[in-house]
Amino acid sequence: MKASFYPKFAWDGIRKNNRLYVPYILTCTGMVTMYYIIVSLSASPLINSLRGGPNIITMLDLGSWVILIFALIFLFYTNSFLSRRRTKEFGLYNILGMGKRNIARILFWETLIASGIALIAGNGAGIVLSKLAELGLVNIMKEEVSYTLSVSGFALGRSTGLFATIFFLIFLNTLRRIRSASPVELLHSESLGEKPPKTNWFFGALGAVLLGAAYYIAVSIDDPLAALNWFFAAVVMVVIGSYLLFIAGSVVFCRLLQKKKKYYYKPNHFVSVSSMVYRMKRNGAGLASICILATMVLVMISSTASLYFGTEDSLMNRYPRQINLSTNMLYPESLGGHNLPALRAEFLRIAAAEGAVMESITDYRLASVVGVLENNAIEVDLTKLDKNGPNAKSNIYKVDQLRTFTNIYQIYIMPLEDYNRIMGTNETLAADECLIYTAKEKYAHDMLAINGGSTFKIKKHLATFFSSGDTVMNIISPMHIVVPNLDAAIKGISDLTDSHGNKLVALRWNYSFDTQLDEENQIALNAKLHEAVKEFNNNGEYGIDSYSVDSRAANRGDFYGTYGGLFFLGVLLSMVFIFAAVLIIYYKQISEGYEDRARFDIMQKVGMTKKEIRKNINSQLLTIFFLPLVGAGLHLTFAFPIIRRLLLLFALNDVALFAIATVICFLVFALFYTLVYRITSNAYYAIVSGAKET
């Protein structure tokens, strides 16, 4: 044979099967493009130089691996549709005398041509679109853009090498399937029907139980820490439950339709329901895949969009004032004497020198400690509650150990003097009285004992409390206790340490204010205040253990880098998953169209018109096509509470914003899904109604 025979034969095979190959090549091209864009952005010096750039590069690196792993799985999955359609053709070649070695050569050239087109077009599109993506990302981060176009050799080499490896593995897998099958099996592989699946009530019930348990977890958890612990378990339960319920439940659904005689014995429904029954096992898996992909898209877009558009609110919650100082003191007496007046005076001097007008000053002291509430007592020495005893070597502040306790609170003990000054109140307390505020649930007792020592009568349950950056970022529910004398309240616990010798009680002084300065001068003032506190700390006379001086303006870049990066990555990954869902729908329609064509051909010969075929197709598609969308909407509805709890970890507490973003995302996706339905149903109709195969 001539050397050009196999390439020409392979090209003819691709051209004649363009209905199958074009979407597959477009999918490969899209995956390469997305991967190149993400890798090139993660290696971009411009992105790295921006405020918050290192944060977004970390997320882009993670996103590149997500896309690569997904591409590996999904391209194998979509190639199975392609190879299943081609096996009959290869079986015919084999019977006519072409050996499997010759078929392997044809497959090699087909793979080489398809992957070559995908790599060249994908990398080319990636090079062009990466600059557009960079401009979009920089704009999201609210930074100045650069219009210089560059090609990332690192991204080009990495995308080409890794995807070439994936295409080679797909070729080997297809080759394995061809070699292991006989010519007759290849010839009849497409026409081999499925046996009517039996109704599996056990798997259907198991799927319903898993979904019910996941939904219960999502709606019943109020604590962000618990939400973080249970989120991934709930996700796994939803995925497994969806597959079981779609596979088993779709069979039950079709059986029920068959038993409903008024529905089943109609021309519009009889053929469609009968066809669905025979392939519901595969159909259910495909529907479940579409449902899961749709849910992933909706969750990612709604949550990341809420974070990005709520960045300013999160920034304000985390940094209530333009300048925020927080110091941890070594001893209780460090919070008194000349220490704090000296720090305040230095702050006033530096602010005046920088032209700042200090206003909206927030100035308070507190003691912070993790405690477990049991009845009307708070136990802060958690080793006493540890099952391993007081000699346990684990760090009690680690999240995995805190999971073993219930009613965990981050306790904030504040002197009455500071509370009245901040809140503008004139509360009074006796020596054994306190005020209390809990955000999680109302404290139900009239007394409160701290570590078996200081005991207070609850004079008043506060309805509100001022918000600080520390409480916003804490994943443990806060409890605020206002006492007449801070030293007396913490006397029995201030010296407690954990198994590593670290003090359990953090003694803090927080001092925050606004300045009337622009952002550039706020950042400059913040730097000078940081140096001043550093000198106080180095002195050692003031009892400062650790400190932080934060400016809202200085951290704005990090917030936009983190939230903007998540939003950008969410958009890119959603595009990949939408593309995957559309392709699953398309191949599902095409493959089922070829399977159903013979049946509809017979029906046409006995009198069914094309109009009746169209009605039958609409009945079949409408019966099952929108089930994934309904399932995704149900998953999203029950996921809303737990995702809202997780957003609290990012200092976002705007429920209305998240709700609006979720509804808009679902409506837009539903509109897009309907459009895909119209397009793919037309492709299905063109096949089964007698159009020639291309």
For helices 552-605 and 267-277, give the axis angle rounded to 10 degrees. Answer: 110
Q: Are 590 and 19 in contact (CB under 8 A)?
A: yes
**The pair of three-digit structure tokens given for residue 679, joined into one six-digit string:** 């397009």
Domain boundaries, the chain: 1-192, 195-321+553-694, 322-552
Rounded average pLDDT over 450-462: 82
CB neighbour burial string for 615-646, b if at least 16 within 10 angstroms, e if fewer: bbbbbbbebbbebbbebbbebbebbbbbbbbb
Percentage of the chain modeled with pLDDT above 90: 8
Residue 300: closest CA among 54, 134, 59: 59
Res 482: pLDDT: 92
Longest Cα separation, the chain: 103
Res 462: pLDDT: 87
Distances (CA, A) of 421 to 91, 356, 360, 460, 479: 86, 22, 12, 18, 19
Mean pLDDT is lowest, of 181-185, 239-243, 315-319, for 181-185
Res 663 pLDDT > 90:
yes
d(C-alpha 308, C-alpha 311), whole Å: 5
Q: Are 28 and 160 in contact (CB under 8 A)?
A: no
d(C-alpha 123, C-alpha 121), whole Å: 6
d(C-alpha 610, C-alpha 339), whole Å: 90
d(C-alpha 60, C-alpha 571), whole Å: 12
- pLDDT tens digit sequence for 591-642: 767 766 766 676 666 666 667 666 666 666 666 678 888 889 999 999 888 8
Select the more confidently predicted residue: 678 or 622.
Answer: 678
Plot region of 418 (φ>0 → left; ψ -120 to 50 → alpha; else → beta): alpha
* Dihedral angle computed from the Cα positions of residues 564, 567, 572 and 576, in that order, rounded to the nearest 10 degrees: 160
Res 1: pLDDT: 54
* Dihedral angle computed from the Cα positions of residues 357, 363, 369 and 370, in that order, rounded to the nearest 10 degrees: -60
- pLDDT tens digit sequence for 481-531: 999 988 888 887 877 777 677 788 888 888 899 988 888 898 898 888 888
Res 390: pLDDT: 38
Sign of the dihedral defined by the CA atoms of residues 155, 157, 158, 159, in that order: positive
Select the more confidently predicted residue: 509 or 4.
Answer: 509
> What is the length of the chain?
694
This prediction has a pTM of 0.70
C-alpha of 239 from chain center: 14
Q: Are 604 and 690 in contact (CB under 8 A)?
A: yes
Res 173 pLDDT > 90:
no
pLDDT averaged over every residue in the chain: 78
Give ∠ CA 242-243-244 in degrees, rounded to 5.
95
For the purposes of burial, counting CB atoms within 10 Å of the CB of 475, is it exposed (0-12), middle (13-18) or buried (19 or more)? middle
d(C-alpha 53, C-alpha 45), whole Å: 9
Select the more confidently predicted residue: 182 or 465.
Answer: 465
385 in helix, strand or coil? Answer: coil
Q: Are 351 and 505 in contact (CB under 8 A)?
A: no
For helices 18-42 and 100-140, give the axis angle rounded to 10 degrees. Answer: 40
d(C-alpha 258, C-alpha 270), whole Å: 8
Res 401: pLDDT: 45
**The pair of three-digit structure tokens given for residue 63, joined into one six-digit string:** 């996103």
**The pair of three-digit structure tokens given for residue 467, joined into one six-digit string:** 């918000």
**Residue 412, φ and ψ in degrees, nearest 5:** -120, 115
**The pair of three-digit structure tokens given for residue 113, joined into one six-digit string:** 């041509």
Helices (H), 519-551: 519-539
* Dihedral angle computed from the Cα positions of residues 584, 587, 588 and 590, in that order, rounded to the nearest 10 degrees: 160
- pLDDT tens digit sequence for 12-37: 878 877 777 888 888 889 889 989 98
